Chain A
Amino acid sequence: DAGVTQSPTHLIKTRGQHVTLRCSPISGHKSVSWYQQVLGQGPQFIFQYYEKEERGRGNFPDRFSARQFPNYSSELNVNALLLGDSALYLCASSVGGAPDPREQYFGPGTRLTVT
């Protein structure tokens, strides 16, 4: 079975631009979470979506938004990019349902560089 897939693998953008990152969860998983990982740190929670609805949000500005589609894939959008947005963006999928952080499976990430 395919794991969590993310696209693109790498991306270079300029300050002020907008970016869209994509994630496809493991087949049968209904929940997708997004994380930002800057160099030398652990992943930091941005959003969680379950059944197309936002279930949770971390401490990120409104420039960050996301959505989940009927096939449970997800997009993360970041507007007005700043240099500090340069990071590895990770998507994690889980079966979902009642709040339960167990068994989240991560994709390989999208490396975003803002210049």
Chain B
Amino acid sequence: GQQLNQSPQSMFIQEGEDVSMNCTSSSIFNTWLWYKQEPGEGPVLLIALYKAGELTSNGRLTAQFGITRKDSFLNISASIPSDVGIYFCAGPSGGGADGLTFGKGTHLIIQP
């Protein structure tokens, strides 16, 4: 099946720093989704990308759909304490259903 590899696995940063994380796939994706999950909650959709090369922003978050369609990047500028959480990339599982394949996540920890 399709696999998504996220890196880094975890990040320890200072408040105010910029953050970059990425996601690579073993196969081509037509859609890339970035979610954030906080303890005790379900994932929340941050950004959706539908076209190779697309660059989309949501406030301090910016994500890009890689040209090869096998990768995507998420950047967070000027991190704040509420950015703490686990960030997941996801793409369609295929097979005609709407199910998503998720990466293992990047755990973001911010030190004040």
Contact = CB atoms under 8 A, between A and B. Distances in A.
Interface of A: 4, 31, 33, 35, 40-45, 47-48, 50, 55-59, 90, 92, 94, 96, 99-109
Interface residues of B, number: 29
Contacts, number: 85
Contacts of B66: none
Contacts of B4: 42
Interface of B: 1, 4, 31, 33, 35, 40-45, 48, 50, 88, 90-93, 95-105
A42 B99 contact: no
Nearest to B49: A102
Contacts of B101: 45
B26 to A, nearest CB: 15
A56 to B, nearest CB: 2
Closest 5 CB pairs of A and B: A56-B97, A42-B102, A106-B42, A45-B99, A101-B92
